[in-house]
Amino acid sequence: AREKKAQNFSDFRLQSTRLIQRLRLNPDDSLEIKPVIQITPIQVDLEGAIDYGYTLRPRVRLLEISKQQREIDLTNVKGWNAFNVNIEMTYGLEKQDEDYKSLWQEFDNSYSMTVNAYIPIWDWGRRKARIEAQKITIRKTELYQEETKNRIKSEIQNAVMNLQEYQKRALSMSENMQMAEEISNLSITRFENNEISLQDLLQSITRQKETEENFLESYLGYRKSLLGLTVETFYDYENNIQLLDKFRSG
């Protein structure tokens, strides 16, 4: 055990030295990081989370813009090959006298009006077909919107369920870890007083190690599920702020 411990310290020292050189840090700088594990219970309203997914995700907004563009295109298509009248009117003054001295005198009025009318008689149904095709395009966009919203709803529901499960598990494992640590400390004290054997002590320490590993697994799952919910809703539930507002303030 002592040999393995010494080897671990040696490996850690060598890897730390390489990392300090790679990052071009001061040789006296320390790379030791003491992580603070904190689990803040988060209550998520499912309906509110789904609403965030509908209103904050750019994909839904882009689909709404696309639908509006298709509706504008439909209005334009209805105008193709339809009855229309163009009226052009001019008002001005003319001077056709070639004499330079009279150029700025005795102007002639110039008024005109032109009316052009387009009356479609027969287009073999092309205009009607174009309109129907554009309506189908709009309907496809609406169906894709509905499909996207259903998918977003399902993803958010799964994300909320994952968060609740991992959060509950992490909180429970945190209590178990504290209890396992207390048992290990008690076992060490009892071993020093010759009340238990070395094997019993090692079993307590092994159980503590397994409990800590299970807690780390559940805590990482909790963090990943929380990040997953943030990605699906574009809302930071830890800080109670929308991601767009968070990025603007940053």
pTM of the model: 0.65
Closest by Cα among 247, 231, 240 to 163:
231
Write down the pLDDT at residue 167: 93
Cα torsion angle, 86, 92, 98, 100, sign: negative
Q: Give the whole-angstrom CA distance, residue 148 versus residue 96.
A: 68
Closest by Cα among 249, 222, 218 to 237:
222
Write down the pLDDT at residue 87: 86
Q: Give the whole-angstrom CA distance, residue 21 versus residue 130.
A: 68
Q: Give the whole-angstrom CA distance, residue 237 versus residue 92.
A: 68
Write down the pLDDT at residue 105: 60
Write down the pLDDT at residue 210: 93
Residue 89: strand pairing partners: 113
Give 10-residue mean pLDDT values along the chain (250 residues).
Answer: 91 89 84 78 90 89 88 82 78 58 59 79 77 88 90 93 92 90 92 90 92 92 92 90 79
How much helix, strand and coil, in percent to the nearest 5, is found in the chain? 65, 10, 20
Q: Give the whole-angstrom CA distance, residue 212 versus residue 180.
A: 9
The helix/strand/coil state of 233 is: helix
Write down the pLDDT at residue 161: 93
Write down the pLDDT at residue 93: 58
Write down the pLDDT at residue 61: 86
Write down the pLDDT at residue 110: 67
Dihedral in degrees, nearest 10, Cα atoms 178, 184, 185, 187: 150
What backbone torsions phi and psi does residue 108 show, to the nearest 5 degrees?
Answer: -110, 135
Between 126-192 and 198-233, two packed helices, what is the crossing angle to 10 degrees?
A: 160
For the CA atoms of the chain, what is the radius of gyration? 38
Write down the pLDDT at residue 108: 61
Q: How is residue 214 annotated by DSSP? A: H
